[in-house]
Protein backbone atom coordinates (compact mmCIF):
# COMPACT_ATOMS: atom_id res chain seq x y z
CA UNK A 1 0.00 0.00 0.00
CA UNK A 2 1.22 3.49 -0.80
CA UNK A 3 2.41 5.46 2.21
CA UNK A 4 1.32 8.94 3.26
CA UNK A 5 4.69 10.34 2.25
CA UNK A 6 4.47 8.64 -1.15
CA UNK A 7 1.20 10.49 -1.69
CA UNK A 8 2.72 13.73 -0.51
CA UNK A 9 5.42 13.54 -3.18
CA UNK A 10 2.73 13.61 -5.89
CA UNK A 11 1.75 17.17 -4.99
CA UNK A 12 4.42 18.53 -7.32
CA UNK A 13 2.95 16.71 -10.31
CA UNK A 14 0.67 18.73 -12.63
CA UNK A 15 -1.79 15.82 -12.74
CA UNK A 16 -2.83 14.42 -9.36
CA UNK A 17 -4.56 11.04 -9.65
CA UNK A 18 -6.90 9.43 -7.18
CA UNK A 19 -4.84 7.59 -4.53
CA UNK A 20 -5.79 4.76 -2.27
CA UNK A 21 -5.27 6.03 1.27
CA UNK A 22 -5.82 4.19 4.58
CA UNK A 23 -7.64 0.89 4.44
CA UNK A 24 -7.74 1.27 0.68
CA UNK A 25 -10.11 4.07 1.46
CA UNK A 26 -10.31 7.83 1.48
CA UNK A 27 -9.68 9.52 -1.82
CA UNK A 28 -6.58 11.74 -1.84
CA UNK A 29 -7.08 14.77 -4.06
CA UNK A 30 -5.08 17.97 -3.85
CA UNK A 31 -8.11 20.18 -4.34
CA UNK A 32 -6.46 22.97 -2.37
CA UNK A 33 -3.71 23.19 -4.97
CA UNK A 34 -6.00 23.79 -7.94
CA UNK A 35 -6.87 27.23 -9.30
CA UNK A 36 -10.22 28.45 -8.05
CA UNK A 37 -12.99 29.46 -10.41
CA UNK A 38 -13.70 33.15 -10.88
CA UNK A 39 -17.18 33.86 -12.21
CA UNK A 40 -17.18 35.54 -15.60
CA UNK A 41 -18.36 39.13 -15.92
CA UNK A 42 -21.41 38.01 -17.91
CA UNK A 43 -22.60 35.83 -15.02
CA UNK A 44 -22.29 32.57 -16.96
CA UNK A 45 -20.82 29.59 -15.14
CA UNK A 46 -20.03 27.16 -17.96
CA UNK A 47 -19.37 23.45 -17.60
CA UNK A 48 -17.87 21.22 -20.28
CA UNK A 49 -17.85 17.40 -20.23
CA UNK A 50 -15.98 15.39 -22.87
CA UNK A 51 -16.97 11.72 -23.22
CA UNK A 52 -14.67 9.52 -25.31
CA UNK A 53 -16.19 6.32 -26.73
CA UNK A 54 -13.23 3.99 -27.26
CA UNK A 55 -13.57 1.26 -29.83
CA UNK A 56 -15.17 3.20 -32.72
CA UNK A 57 -18.91 3.95 -32.63
CA UNK A 58 -21.11 2.85 -35.51
CA UNK A 59 -22.57 6.24 -36.37
CA UNK A 60 -24.82 4.75 -39.05
CA UNK A 61 -26.45 2.52 -36.45
CA UNK A 62 -26.75 5.24 -33.81
CA UNK A 63 -28.16 8.02 -35.98
CA UNK A 64 -29.37 6.19 -39.06
CA UNK A 65 -29.89 7.89 -42.43
CA UNK A 66 -33.14 6.02 -43.03
CA UNK A 67 -33.96 8.46 -45.82
CA UNK A 68 -30.93 7.35 -47.84
CA UNK A 69 -32.07 4.67 -50.32
CA UNK A 70 -28.80 2.76 -49.97
CA UNK A 71 -28.74 2.56 -46.17
CA UNK A 72 -30.97 -0.47 -45.54
CA UNK A 73 -29.16 -2.63 -48.09
CA UNK A 74 -25.74 -1.84 -46.62
CA UNK A 75 -26.62 -2.27 -42.95
CA UNK A 76 -28.84 -5.27 -43.61
CA UNK A 77 -30.18 -7.07 -40.54
CA UNK A 78 -28.91 -4.41 -38.13
CA UNK A 79 -30.40 -1.45 -40.02
CA UNK A 80 -32.79 0.75 -38.07
CA UNK A 81 -36.31 1.38 -39.33
CA UNK A 82 -38.87 4.07 -38.66
CA UNK A 83 -41.63 1.58 -37.87
CA UNK A 84 -42.14 -1.76 -36.13
CA UNK A 85 -41.71 -2.89 -32.49
CA UNK A 86 -38.22 -1.41 -32.20
CA UNK A 87 -38.76 1.71 -34.28
CA UNK A 88 -36.09 4.39 -34.22
CA UNK A 89 -37.06 7.92 -33.21
CA UNK A 90 -37.23 10.18 -36.25
CA UNK A 91 -35.11 13.29 -35.68
CA UNK A 92 -36.19 14.82 -38.97
CA UNK A 93 -37.40 13.49 -42.31
CA UNK A 94 -34.05 11.82 -43.06
CA UNK A 95 -32.27 10.78 -39.82
CA UNK A 96 -33.51 8.48 -37.03
CA UNK A 97 -32.07 7.89 -33.56
CA UNK A 98 -31.46 4.45 -32.07
CA UNK A 99 -34.39 3.47 -29.81
CA UNK A 100 -31.98 2.79 -26.91
CA UNK A 101 -31.52 6.56 -26.46
CA UNK A 102 -34.88 8.00 -25.33
CA UNK A 103 -33.27 10.60 -23.03
CA UNK A 104 -31.16 12.02 -25.85
CA UNK A 105 -34.28 12.02 -28.05
CA UNK A 106 -36.09 14.07 -25.40
CA UNK A 107 -33.18 16.51 -25.12
CA UNK A 108 -33.19 16.80 -28.91
CA UNK A 109 -36.90 17.64 -28.92
CA UNK A 110 -36.24 20.23 -26.21
CA UNK A 111 -33.50 21.66 -28.46
CA UNK A 112 -30.77 20.82 -25.94
CA UNK A 113 -29.07 18.12 -28.03
CA UNK A 114 -27.62 17.99 -31.53
CA UNK A 115 -25.94 15.52 -33.88
CA UNK A 116 -23.05 16.21 -36.24
CA UNK A 117 -22.97 13.45 -38.86
CA UNK A 118 -20.31 12.31 -41.35
CA UNK A 119 -17.62 13.61 -39.00
CA UNK A 120 -14.07 12.38 -38.31
CA UNK A 121 -10.68 13.40 -37.04
CA UNK A 122 -7.89 13.92 -39.62
CA UNK A 123 -6.90 10.27 -39.12
CA UNK A 124 -7.63 8.03 -42.12
CA UNK A 125 -6.28 4.61 -41.12
CA UNK A 126 -8.07 2.14 -38.90
CA UNK A 127 -5.89 1.47 -35.87
CA UNK A 128 -7.66 2.00 -32.54
CA UNK A 129 -4.42 3.01 -30.83
CA UNK A 130 -3.47 5.63 -33.42
CA UNK A 131 -7.05 6.80 -33.89
CA UNK A 132 -7.49 7.42 -30.17
CA UNK A 133 -4.12 9.16 -30.08
CA UNK A 134 -5.25 11.64 -32.76
CA UNK A 135 -8.70 12.09 -31.22
CA UNK A 136 -7.37 12.90 -27.74
CA UNK A 137 -4.08 14.63 -28.52
CA UNK A 138 -5.62 17.08 -30.99
CA UNK A 139 -2.70 16.73 -33.39
CA UNK A 140 -3.22 15.90 -37.05
CA UNK A 141 -1.36 12.58 -36.81
CA UNK A 142 -0.47 9.89 -34.29
CA UNK A 143 2.62 9.57 -32.16
CA UNK A 144 2.61 12.93 -30.34
CA UNK A 145 1.13 12.06 -26.98
CA UNK A 146 2.67 14.51 -24.51
CA UNK A 147 -0.62 16.28 -23.84
CA UNK A 148 -4.26 16.39 -24.81
CA UNK A 149 -6.25 19.17 -26.45
CA UNK A 150 -8.58 19.61 -23.47
CA UNK A 151 -5.67 20.15 -21.09
CA UNK A 152 -4.15 22.70 -23.47
CA UNK A 153 -7.55 24.43 -23.61
CA UNK A 154 -7.46 24.66 -19.81
CA UNK A 155 -4.03 26.28 -20.03
CA UNK A 156 -5.30 28.79 -22.59
CA UNK A 157 -8.33 29.99 -20.64
CA UNK A 158 -8.27 33.75 -19.92
CA UNK A 159 -6.65 34.23 -16.53
CA UNK A 160 -8.56 36.27 -13.98
CA UNK A 161 -11.82 35.95 -15.88
CA UNK A 162 -12.74 32.29 -15.77
CA UNK A 163 -10.18 29.96 -14.28
CA UNK A 164 -11.37 26.37 -14.32
CA UNK A 165 -10.06 23.17 -12.78
CA UNK A 166 -10.22 19.90 -14.69
CA UNK A 167 -11.65 16.59 -13.49
CA UNK A 168 -10.21 13.35 -14.87
CA UNK A 169 -12.70 10.55 -14.29
CA UNK A 170 -11.42 6.99 -14.15
CA UNK A 171 -8.52 4.94 -12.87
CA UNK A 172 -6.14 6.74 -15.24
CA UNK A 173 -6.32 10.25 -16.68
CA UNK A 174 -7.55 10.16 -20.28
CA UNK A 175 -4.93 11.49 -22.72
CA UNK A 176 -7.28 14.31 -23.71
CA UNK A 177 -6.85 15.83 -20.21
CA UNK A 178 -3.14 15.14 -19.66
CA UNK A 179 -0.69 18.00 -19.69
CA UNK A 180 0.67 20.97 -17.77
CA UNK A 181 -2.65 22.38 -16.57
CA UNK A 182 -3.55 21.01 -13.12
CA UNK A 183 -6.33 18.46 -12.87
CA UNK A 184 -7.76 16.25 -10.16
CA UNK A 185 -8.64 12.59 -10.60
CA UNK A 186 -11.65 10.70 -9.30
CA UNK A 187 -12.94 7.19 -9.79
CA UNK A 188 -15.75 5.39 -7.95
CA UNK A 189 -14.36 3.46 -4.98
CA UNK A 190 -14.50 -0.33 -5.02
CA UNK A 191 -13.16 -0.71 -1.48
CA UNK A 192 -14.72 0.42 1.82
CA UNK A 193 -13.85 3.99 2.70
CA UNK A 194 -12.05 4.96 5.90
CA UNK A 195 -14.55 5.80 8.64
CA UNK A 196 -15.02 9.41 9.73
CA UNK A 197 -13.21 8.90 13.04
CA UNK A 198 -10.08 7.50 11.38
CA UNK A 199 -10.06 10.32 8.84
CA UNK A 200 -10.50 12.97 11.57
CA UNK A 201 -7.60 11.57 13.61
CA UNK A 202 -5.34 11.50 10.56
CA UNK A 203 -6.16 15.11 9.70
CA UNK A 204 -5.50 16.16 13.31
CA UNK A 205 -2.14 14.39 13.24
CA UNK A 206 -0.99 16.14 10.08
CA UNK A 207 -2.37 19.53 11.12
CA UNK A 208 0.57 19.71 13.52
CA UNK A 209 3.19 18.02 11.34
CA UNK A 210 2.31 19.15 7.81
CA UNK A 211 -0.49 21.75 7.56
CA UNK A 212 -0.40 21.80 3.75
CA UNK A 213 -0.89 18.04 3.53
CA UNK A 214 -3.61 18.20 6.20
CA UNK A 215 -5.46 20.83 4.19
CA UNK A 216 -5.16 18.84 0.96
CA UNK A 217 -6.26 15.63 2.69
CA UNK A 218 -9.24 17.36 4.29
CA UNK A 219 -10.41 18.74 0.96
CA UNK A 220 -9.75 15.41 -0.74
CA UNK A 221 -11.93 13.64 1.81
CA UNK A 222 -14.63 16.24 1.26
CA UNK A 223 -14.37 15.67 -2.50
CA UNK A 224 -14.87 11.95 -2.02
CA UNK A 225 -17.80 12.51 0.33
CA UNK A 226 -19.40 14.84 -2.22
CA UNK A 227 -19.13 12.26 -4.98
CA UNK A 228 -20.09 9.17 -3.00
CA UNK A 229 -23.28 8.20 -1.19
CA UNK A 230 -25.80 5.39 -0.97
CA UNK A 231 -26.90 6.09 -4.54
CA UNK A 232 -23.32 5.42 -5.73
CA UNK A 233 -23.17 1.83 -4.48
CA UNK A 234 -23.35 -0.67 -7.38
CA UNK A 235 -26.42 -2.89 -7.18
CA UNK A 236 -25.98 -6.67 -7.55
CA UNK A 237 -25.78 -7.58 -11.22
CA UNK A 238 -24.92 -4.03 -12.33
CA UNK A 239 -23.99 -4.18 -16.04
CA UNK A 240 -21.95 -1.82 -18.21
CA UNK A 241 -24.94 0.45 -18.75
CA UNK A 242 -25.46 0.76 -15.01
CA UNK A 243 -21.76 1.41 -14.47
CA UNK A 244 -21.84 4.28 -16.97
CA UNK A 245 -24.69 5.88 -15.05
CA UNK A 246 -22.84 5.56 -11.72
CA UNK A 247 -19.71 7.22 -13.10
CA UNK A 248 -21.73 10.12 -14.53
CA UNK A 249 -23.72 10.46 -11.31
CA UNK A 250 -20.60 10.92 -9.18
CA UNK A 251 -18.98 13.29 -11.67
CA UNK A 252 -22.13 15.43 -11.81
CA UNK A 253 -22.15 15.74 -8.03
CA UNK A 254 -18.62 17.10 -8.07
CA UNK A 255 -19.25 19.47 -10.97
CA UNK A 256 -22.43 20.89 -9.46
CA UNK A 257 -20.57 22.34 -6.46
CA UNK A 258 -19.80 26.06 -6.43
CA UNK A 259 -16.07 25.34 -5.98
CA UNK A 260 -16.05 22.14 -8.03
CA UNK A 261 -14.39 21.44 -11.39
CA UNK A 262 -15.89 23.02 -14.48
CA UNK A 263 -14.29 20.77 -17.09
CA UNK A 264 -14.28 16.96 -17.05
CA UNK A 265 -13.19 14.09 -19.27
CA UNK A 266 -14.07 10.42 -19.13
CA UNK A 267 -13.85 7.42 -21.43
CA UNK A 268 -16.23 4.51 -21.96
CA UNK A 269 -14.66 1.42 -23.52
CA UNK A 270 -16.11 -1.48 -25.50
CA UNK A 271 -17.54 0.09 -28.67
CA UNK A 272 -15.68 -2.25 -31.08
CA UNK A 273 -18.72 -4.05 -32.50
CA UNK A 274 -17.21 -6.52 -34.97
CA UNK A 275 -19.84 -9.19 -34.28
CA UNK A 276 -23.48 -9.40 -33.20
CA UNK A 277 -23.93 -5.65 -33.12
CA UNK A 278 -27.61 -6.29 -32.75
CA UNK A 279 -29.47 -3.46 -34.46
CA UNK A 280 -32.35 -2.14 -32.31
CA UNK A 281 -31.57 -4.73 -29.60
CA UNK A 282 -28.31 -6.40 -28.62
CA UNK A 283 -24.81 -5.33 -27.74
CA UNK A 284 -24.79 -1.85 -29.27
CA UNK A 285 -28.22 -1.17 -27.80
CA UNK A 286 -26.88 -1.95 -24.31
CA UNK A 287 -23.94 0.37 -24.79
CA UNK A 288 -26.10 3.19 -26.11
CA UNK A 289 -28.51 2.72 -23.23
CA UNK A 290 -25.60 3.26 -20.83
CA UNK A 291 -24.48 6.37 -22.66
CA UNK A 292 -28.04 7.68 -22.71
CA UNK A 293 -28.35 7.06 -18.99
CA UNK A 294 -25.05 8.83 -18.34
CA UNK A 295 -26.30 11.93 -20.17
CA UNK A 296 -29.47 11.86 -18.08
CA UNK A 297 -27.39 11.58 -14.89
CA UNK A 298 -25.37 14.66 -15.85
CA UNK A 299 -28.60 16.55 -16.52
CA UNK A 300 -30.24 15.64 -13.21
CA UNK A 301 -27.06 15.81 -11.13
CA UNK A 302 -25.98 19.22 -12.37
CA UNK A 303 -29.41 20.67 -11.68
CA UNK A 304 -29.44 24.40 -12.39
CA UNK A 305 -25.86 24.11 -13.72
CA UNK A 306 -27.16 22.10 -16.69
CA UNK A 307 -28.29 25.39 -18.24
CA UNK A 308 -24.64 26.35 -18.80
CA UNK A 309 -23.37 22.86 -19.67
CA UNK A 310 -22.16 21.28 -22.90
CA UNK A 311 -21.44 17.55 -23.13
CA UNK A 312 -19.42 16.45 -26.17
CA UNK A 313 -19.44 12.76 -27.17
CA UNK A 314 -16.78 11.67 -29.66
CA UNK A 315 -15.10 8.48 -30.91
CA UNK A 316 -11.87 7.70 -32.78
CA UNK A 317 -13.50 6.72 -36.09
CA UNK A 318 -16.62 5.09 -37.49
CA UNK A 319 -17.41 1.66 -38.85
CA UNK A 320 -18.00 0.17 -42.27
CA UNK A 321 -21.20 1.03 -44.11
CA UNK A 322 -21.78 -2.63 -44.98
CA UNK A 323 -22.23 -5.25 -42.27
CA UNK A 324 -19.85 -8.18 -42.18
CA UNK A 325 -20.54 -11.92 -42.04
CA UNK A 326 -20.95 -11.95 -38.26
CA UNK A 327 -23.67 -9.27 -38.18
CA UNK A 328 -21.25 -6.62 -37.05
CA UNK A 329 -19.24 -3.85 -38.64
CA UNK A 330 -15.51 -3.42 -39.11
CA UNK A 331 -13.26 -0.39 -38.64
CA UNK A 332 -14.34 2.54 -40.75
CA UNK A 333 -13.96 6.32 -41.10
CA UNK A 334 -16.94 8.70 -40.93
CA UNK A 335 -19.16 8.62 -37.84
CA UNK A 336 -21.06 11.02 -35.56
CA UNK A 337 -20.40 13.44 -32.73
CA UNK A 338 -23.11 14.23 -30.18
CA UNK A 339 -23.74 17.40 -28.20
CA UNK A 340 -26.04 17.66 -25.19
CA UNK A 341 -26.66 20.26 -22.51
CA UNK A 342 -28.67 23.31 -21.69
CA UNK A 343 -26.18 25.54 -23.50
CA UNK A 344 -26.46 23.60 -26.77
CA UNK A 345 -28.41 25.05 -29.68
CA UNK A 346 -30.00 21.71 -30.40
CA UNK A 347 -32.83 20.08 -32.25
CA UNK A 348 -30.62 19.70 -35.33
CA UNK A 349 -28.67 17.10 -37.28
CA UNK A 350 -25.80 19.05 -38.80
CA UNK A 351 -24.42 17.29 -41.86
CA UNK A 352 -23.10 17.76 -45.36
CA UNK A 353 -24.41 14.33 -46.24
CA UNK A 354 -22.15 12.51 -48.74
CA UNK A 355 -24.54 9.69 -49.58
CA UNK A 356 -24.03 5.93 -49.39
CA UNK A 357 -23.82 4.96 -53.04
CA UNK A 358 -20.73 2.82 -53.81
CA UNK A 359 -19.01 5.70 -55.59
CA UNK A 360 -19.63 7.98 -52.61
CA UNK A 361 -18.15 5.71 -49.95
CA UNK A 362 -14.66 6.44 -48.66
CA UNK A 363 -12.33 3.83 -50.20
CA UNK A 364 -15.47 2.00 -51.34
CA UNK A 365 -16.40 0.90 -47.80
CA UNK A 366 -16.91 3.71 -45.28
CA UNK A 367 -19.14 6.70 -44.71
CA UNK A 368 -17.13 9.54 -46.24
CA UNK A 369 -16.30 12.25 -43.68
CA UNK A 370 -17.35 15.76 -44.67
CA UNK A 371 -16.82 17.55 -41.33
CA UNK A 372 -13.59 17.71 -39.35
CA UNK A 373 -14.22 16.88 -35.69
CA UNK A 374 -11.83 19.69 -34.76
CA UNK A 375 -14.30 22.17 -36.29
CA UNK A 376 -16.94 20.91 -33.84
CA UNK A 377 -14.58 21.10 -30.86
CA UNK A 378 -13.28 24.53 -31.85
CA UNK A 379 -16.82 25.88 -32.14
CA UNK A 380 -17.66 24.65 -28.64
CA UNK A 381 -14.43 25.89 -27.04
CA UNK A 382 -14.72 29.30 -28.69
CA UNK A 383 -18.37 30.01 -27.99
CA UNK A 384 -18.72 28.20 -24.66
CA UNK A 385 -15.38 28.94 -22.96
CA UNK A 386 -14.27 32.04 -24.85
CA UNK A 387 -11.08 30.74 -26.47
CA UNK A 388 -9.84 32.73 -29.45
CA UNK A 389 -9.58 31.14 -32.89
CA UNK A 390 -5.87 31.91 -33.03
CA UNK A 391 -5.25 30.13 -29.74
CA UNK A 392 -7.31 27.17 -30.90
CA UNK A 393 -5.40 26.92 -34.18
CA UNK A 394 -1.94 27.26 -32.67
CA UNK A 395 -1.97 25.79 -29.17
CA UNK A 396 -5.06 23.67 -28.64
CA UNK A 397 -5.13 22.01 -32.08
CA UNK A 398 -1.67 22.79 -33.50
CA UNK A 399 -1.33 23.54 -37.22
CA UNK A 400 -5.10 23.53 -37.75
CA UNK A 401 -5.68 27.08 -39.00
CA UNK A 402 -7.59 25.97 -42.15
CA UNK A 403 -10.16 24.20 -39.94
CA UNK A 404 -12.60 26.85 -38.73
CA UNK A 405 -14.86 26.33 -35.74
CA UNK A 406 -18.51 25.69 -36.56
CA UNK A 407 -20.67 28.68 -35.71
CA UNK A 408 -23.80 28.50 -33.61
CA UNK A 409 -23.39 25.22 -31.74
CA UNK A 410 -23.72 26.91 -28.36
CA UNK A 411 -26.29 29.46 -27.22
In this model, does residue 231 exceed pLDDT 60? no
Is residue 21 assigned to a domain?
no
Q: Is the pTM of this model over 0.95?
A: no
Three-state SS for 178?
coil
Looking at residue 22, its pLDDT comes to: 28
The Cα–Cα gap between 102 and 114 comes to: 14
Q: Is residue 198 part of a domain?
A: no
Q: Are 178 and 15 in contact (CB under 8 A)?
A: yes
* DSSP states along 215-239: HHHHHHHHHHHHH-SGGGSPPTT--
Grade residue 120 by pLDDT with cuts at 50, 70 and 90.
Answer: very high
- Decide if 271 is inside a domain: yes
More confident residue, 115 or 15: 115
Q: How far is residue 392's CA from residue 398's CA, in Å, rounded to a whole number?
A: 8
Residue 308 within any structural domain of the chain: yes
CATH number for 329:
3.40.720
The percent of residues in the chain predicted with pLDDT above 70, rounded, is 76
Confidence class of residue 371 from pLDDT cuts 50, 70 and 90? very high
pLDDT higher than 90, residue 211:
no
Between 399 and 162, residue with greater pLDDT: 399
Residue 170: helix, strand or coil by DSSP?
coil
pLDDT of 182 > 90? The answer is no
Range with lowest mean pLDDT among 43-47, 79-83, 116-120, 199-203: 199-203
**pLDDT above 60 for 86:** yes
- Write out the residue range of the structural domain in which residue 264 sits: 34-193+228-396
pLDDT of residue 197: 58
Higher pLDDT, 228 or 86: 86
On the question of pLDDT at 24 being above 50, the answer is no
Residue 97 counted as domain residue:
yes
Q: Alpha-carbon distance 271 to 368, whole Å?
A: 20
pLDDT at 379 over 70: yes
- pLDDT bracket for residue 164 (50, 70, 90): low
- For residue 374, pLDDT over 80 is answered with yes
Q: Pick the residue with more confidence: 345 or 30?
A: 345
The count of structural domains within the chain is 1
| Mean local confidence (pLDDT), 38-52 | 78
Whether 60 shows a pLDDT value over 80: the answer reads yes
pLDDT mean across residues, the chain? 83
Evaluate if residue 219 carries a pLDDT over 60.
Answer: no
Q: Is residue 26 part of a domain?
A: no
pLDDT of residue 146: 83
Selected residue with higher pLDDT from 260 and 12: 260
Burial of 102 (C-beta count, 10 Å sphere; 0-12/13-18/19+): middle
Q: Assess whether pLDDT exceeds 60 at residue 322.
A: yes
Q: Give dist(CA 128, CA 146) in Å, integer.
A: 18
In a domain, 373, yes or no: yes
Whether residue 298 is contained in a domain is answered as yes
Between CA 124 and CA 189 the distance in angstroms is: 38
Amino acid sequence: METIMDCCESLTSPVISRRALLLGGASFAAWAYLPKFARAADGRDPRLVVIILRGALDGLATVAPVGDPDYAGLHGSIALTSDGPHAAAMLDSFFALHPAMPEFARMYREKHAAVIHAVSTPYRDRSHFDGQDVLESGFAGPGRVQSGWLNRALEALPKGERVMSGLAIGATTPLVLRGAAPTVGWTPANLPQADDDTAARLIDLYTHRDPALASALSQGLQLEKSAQGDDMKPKPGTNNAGAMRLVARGAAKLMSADDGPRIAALAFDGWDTHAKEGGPVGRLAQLLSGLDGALAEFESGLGARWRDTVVVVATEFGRTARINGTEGTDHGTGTIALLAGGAVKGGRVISDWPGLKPASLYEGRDLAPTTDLRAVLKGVLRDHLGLAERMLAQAVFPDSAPVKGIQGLVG
